[in-house]
Chain A
Amino acid sequence: MILVEQLTMRLASGGREVLILDNVDLRVAPGEFLAVVGPSGSGKSTLLGLIAGLDRPTSGRVWLSGSEIVALPEDEVAALRGRLIGFVFQSYQLIPTMTALENVMIPLELAGERDARARSRLLLRTVGLEQRAHHYPAQLSGGEQQRVAIARAFTCEPPVLLADEPTGNLDQTTGRNVIDLLVRLHKEQRTTLVLVTHDADLAASADRIITLVDGRVQRDERRPGR
């Protein structure tokens, strides 16, 4: 479960302070599929990053499975992140010096798992890239790279998956496939999925949609029956 309390983020930009998030409260239930939408600059990505502990908020608190991460030292947050969170980025963020397979293996290796290679191969098969295991990111198309990134996000079977505009750099068809893959894995593994997007169609498949405007939650829409 994710719990966000009075989260505020200010950043210095060009010499003045900009309010990115303004007192955001949010609660995401286990297994829920939440879409966060809003215009660019509304603070969506920042909210997601703060949930993952990638940065420290100006004020407010974030709980992940009962641990309050804002107060934790950076390295402990990293360890927690490795266990609890899979993250998919708009720009894939694969490590360019590693093959697809190695990229997928890293979270398992970091966790000290024994059969990292076999499990990662299996995951690559799940995302349909078994044949591309030994290719480097530069040798893969954007869609393939993002599928590798998704496989990497799922390797440790994290309870929470955060996706930051995962289709932002992809054409529509490829983007659709990637979202389908995300949703499928979310359902199969009962993962909590938080998807940031500005594409209303993609958001439509979520259980719940919140809309951020100027760093505030403007709308919180549940879609029962889905």
Chain B
Amino acid sequence: MAGSRRLGFLGVMAWRETRGAWRHFLFFLVCIALGVGSLVGVSGFSATLERTVRKEARSLMAADVQVRVNRPLSDAGRAALESWRRRGAEVVAASELVAMAANPASDATALVELKAVEPGYPFYGELAVSPPEAARALADPAQALVEEGLLTRLGLEPGDHFQLGGADLLVAGVILKEPDRVVGAFSLGPRVLIGPAALAATELIQPGSRVRYRYLLKLPPGQPTAPVVEELETALAPEFARVSAYDDAQPRLQRFLQNLTVYLGLVGLISLLVGGIGVANSVRAFMQEKMDTLAVLKGLGADSPTLLRIYLLQTLLLGGLGSLAGLGLGVGVQWALPSLMAGLLPVRLEPVAAWGAMLRGVTMGVLTAGLFALWPLLGIRAVPPARLLRREVDEEAMFQAGGRRPWAVAAAIVSALALLALWHIGQWTVGATFLGVLGAALGLLWAGAWLLVRAARRLPVRRARLPLRQGVANLHRPGSQTVTALLSVGIGVTVMLAVALIEVNLLRQVDDHLPEDAPTFFFVDIQPDQADGFSSVLVRRGLPAELTPIVRSRLHAVGEETVAQMKLEGREDAWYFQREYVVTARAELPKGNRVVEGAWWPSRPGTEEPLISVEQEAARGLGVGLGSRLTFDAQGRLITATVASLREVAWSNLGTNFFIIFSPGALDALTPTYLATTRTAAPAEDLPLQRAVVAAFPNVTAINMRHVLDAIGSILNRIAHAVRFMAAFTLATGLLVLAGALAATRYRRIRETVILKALGATRGIIARIFAVEYAVLGVTAGLIGTGLACLLSYIVVRFFMMLPWEWDGAVLAMGLAAAVLLTVLTGFLTTLRVLGQKPLAVLRRE
């Protein structure tokens, strides 16, 4: 009873102290709203993605369970599927490969993603074609359904014919929607959908061709997926099959989306934390104004804990209010993000109301506001009631009272904030890294601010003209906001520029100008009897031809342990054991390769077991070293080889690189296919070459690296849009905090301005004083920010993305210029009204 009345009193007091001060708390509210808005926006977006992927899971797979293999199932494997068919399941097979399509009328050619499906496909989701009756084409050996893109590329109309491998196919209709074309984000070319008979007619599937086989299962009603997956996994282990159910499908898509939203969320979190600085500032300024009220309340018998509770409750209420406003903003962000990444995802995203994310966002907002406000609020304890008797007492008491705010409290506040951040991120390693980097960045910015204040004090500007002298002096006088301004603007600049630099470095990787010497074309699936003819086509055109024999294989065993015996489910490194290895045998070390351990083929009698050279990351993933024995399964043969060397491979040369290279002669018993590379000097040569190759070798697939890199570039661009959008929030919050910090110096500025005016200064002089101050702030924040952005992007690009990092003068210069410009602009917008103050009116009020 007494407790609730007490709380009521605290609430009433908190309200009384807020109702007249809305203007004062505007910055507070907007800071929290921006932070919470970006958090809730990203979380809501993440929830939307998750729910959509889960809801659409069956149609994303077009089945309940699917089996993926790189070669057709053996008889035993078919029997395993057959047994489920007998138990009421339906099964269809789908084969996917990359091929070349050509318009015989115009010689236009295009790389396509070919998919052949049996009748019954798809079990779930909708295959939408135009006209609808064209779906019948899948039963016709001479008809195909194609994506719009192919029509444009080949200059075709529905009803026209085109060449695909050895078949002449009629375009029966256009594909509008294909349920299981999952990563719409990246594809080598438009889809061509045909039936099994048409696939046979193309004669594209030959020994060594790169084909993905999918077997789709529709289970009888009520049959749970887990036992089916388990049984098939066991039965199909020798086939290296990957079995998945719709409800745990798309792990890669899900992981990609998860990572993306985690990183977007980090950027959002920075916004909130920067906003927190604004809150602290706003509360500190408020407390300074409230010194008299605090003294009166103490005089009337209020103790410090009661007062602390009143104002803490006030900040929590304001934090709640700001957070609620942030929710509205967050919903906007949630709607904006999918459109920014349009086309990146296979499904239409319908934003969902993510109540959990909202609740968490509000909690984050309220607690962040409370924690950031706590430090300035603790100054309440230092307000002496004696102030009521002697006004001049301890005007600076709140600032000098540092001794009464023990570092232990500061440590507790910082730890609480760190825990809050960790709670939000939800991943320990990511969270710890994030906090470490953020802490280091803040530390460096703070050190920069400290140095700036020291430097401003010592700068030899005493004899300089008034604007310069005053402007510099404004940076170091007591109560200046230099530290806050630098921290907030600096973090904003850092995030924005780091994102830009990472983007620039990524895009450079996929830019038009391929690395020198890198091939511009890959030709795959060249049959042994085509190899010589193929070379001569290239040579006749004056192009370099490099043909490499390759064999597709599987890892069968490491030492004595077969892969089938290993427990690999859920293991991060499972990929290394289960993937298909494209291998070759050669005498010389390929270009861009360096032996880091062991030796390239030592000369020795050739009768012994073959040797292999393993790429060092793969060796780490497989847990093998020099002398380890690996057994590969290729074309039904088991080949055991001893690791003779580990190689470092410069993957970025985009050449023909291998994880595994056999010693010469080791693969002689097998039939290889050939992989050819060449380099055209200019994109203009690409199309004629492609046409010539398709005409002579319809089964050979030409992959134009320039197109591939373009496609990757456009995906990166879309992701970059989203990241930049979120980073803009951080910068906006930073500028807002700057505005708040400068607004807090308003009274001091007004006083100075009117005195200067009374002494004859014009508005121009005063404006110049401010301009000097803001420009120095902007330059410093910009410089430190650019430095930090370089460091941050370097770490990310070099160590997380394993790519070379280069700085970009243009981006940095633009970032720096923008930092200065925005700082000066924000400063002037905040203090514009100060310039217009009439001296007499202000002085009379004194």
Contact = CB atoms under 8 A, between A and B. Distances in A.
Given A49-B388, A97-B16, A78 B2 contact: no
A98 interface: yes
B388 A107 contact: no
- Most chain B CB within 10 A, of A46, A48, A96, A109, is at A109
A111 to B, nearest CB: 8
A49 B384 CA distance: 12
Interface residues of B, number: 30
Contact of A54 (B16, B299, B305): B299
B389 interface: yes
Q: How large is the interface on A (under 10, 10 to 19, 20 to 34, 35 or more residues)?
A: 35 or more
Interface stretch (B4-12, B171-179, B253-261, B762-770): B4-12
A46 B292 CA distance: 18
Contacts of B389: 45-46, 48-49, 54-55, 164
B566 interface: no
B201 interface: no
B481 to A, nearest CB: 25
A102 B296 CA distance: 13
A201 interface: no
Interface in B275-326: 292-293, 295-306
Contact of B301 (A55, A89, A107, A164): A107
B251 interface: no
Contacts of B21: 97
Interface in A31-76: 45-46, 48-49, 52-55, 74-76
B297 A106 contact: yes
A45 B391 CA distance: 12
Residue among B16, B17, B295, B388 with most chain A CB within 10 A? B388
Contacts of A93: 292, 295-296, 299, 388
B386 interface: yes
For B6, B16, B303, the residue with the greatest tally of chain A CB atoms inside 10 Å of its CB is B303
Contacts of A97: 16-17, 19-21, 293
Contacts of B385: 53-55, 78
Contacts of A83: 301
Contact of B9 (A45, A81, A82, A109): A109
Contacts of A112: 2, 5-6, 9
Given A97-B17, A112-B5, A78 B12 contact: no
Interface string A160-178: 0000100000000000000
A147 interface: no
Interface in B800-845: none
A75 B292 contact: no
Contact of A110 (B16, B295, B300): B300
A79 interface: yes
A106 B301 CA distance: 9
B714 to A, nearest CB: 57
Nearest to A152: B300
B303 A109 contact: no
Given A55-B389, A74-B304, A112-B6, A98 B299 contact: no
A93 to B, nearest CB: 5
Contact of B306 (A94, A95, A110): A110
Contact of A75 (B19, B304, B388): B304
Nearest to B381: A74
A87 interface: yes
A114 interface: yes
B388 A89 contact: yes
A78 B301 contact: yes
B16 A82 contact: no
Contacts of B297: 95, 106, 110
A79 B385 CA distance: 13
Contact of A109 (B12, B19, B293, B296): B12
Contacts of A46: 389
Interface in B369-424: 384-386, 388-389
B300 A82 contact: yes
Interface string B88-130: 0000000000000000000000000000000000000000000
Nearest to B13: A109
A171 to B, nearest CB: 22
With most chain A CB atoms within 10 A of its CB, the pick from B293, B296, B297 is B296
Given A83-B301, A106-B297, A55 B5 contact: no
**Residue among B301, B386, B388 with most chain A CB within 10 A:** B301
A81 B303 CA distance: 10
Contacts of B306: 110
Nearest to B303: A75
A65 B623 CA distance: 83
Nearest to B8: A109
Contacts of A74: 303-304
Contacts of B19: 97
Contacts of A79: 301, 303
Most buried by A among B9, B300, B389: B300
A112 B4 CA distance: 10
A45 B386 CA distance: 10
A76 B304 CA distance: 10
Contacts of B384: 54-55
Contacts of B9: 109-110, 112
A81 B301 contact: yes
Nearest to B5: A112
Contacts of B5: 112, 114
B2 to A, nearest CB: 6
A110 B386 contact: no
A144 B206 CA distance: 103
A82 B385 CA distance: 13
A110 B306 CA distance: 9
Nearest to B293: A95
Contact of B293 (A49, A80, A96): A96
Contacts of B300: 81-82, 87, 106-107, 110, 152
B298 A78 contact: yes
A111 B297 CA distance: 12
B6 A102 contact: no
Nearest to B290: A97
Interface string A135-149: 000000000000000
A78 B386 contact: no
Interface in A81-130: 81-83, 85, 87, 89, 93-98, 102, 106-107, 109-112, 114
Nearest to B10: A109
B241 to A, nearest CB: 74
Interface centre among A53, A80, A87, A110 (most CB of B within 10 A): A110
A109 B2 CA distance: 11
Contacts of B295: 93
B305 A49 contact: no
B302 A110 contact: yes
A19 to B, nearest CB: 15
Contacts of B386: 49, 54-55
Contacts of A98: 16
A114 B5 CA distance: 8
Interface in B603-648: none
A55 B13 CA distance: 25
Nearest to A92: B296
Contacts of A152: 300
Contacts of A110: 9, 297, 300-302, 306
Nearest to A109: B9
5 contacts: A54-B389, A74-B304, A97-B16, A106-B297, A109-B13
Interface of A: 45-46, 48-49, 52-55, 74-76, 78-83, 85, 87, 89, 93-98, 102, 106-107, 109-112, 114, 152, 164
Given A82-B301, A87-B300, A112-B9, 17 more contacts: A45-B389, A46-B389, A48-B389, A49-B388, A54-B299, A54-B385, A54-B388, A55-B385, A78-B298, A78-B302, A81-B299, A89-B388, A97-B16, A97-B17, A109-B9, A110-B302, A164-B389
Closest 8 CB pairs of A and B: A82-B301, A55-B386, A75-B303, A54-B385, A49-B389, A78-B303, A81-B301, A109-B9
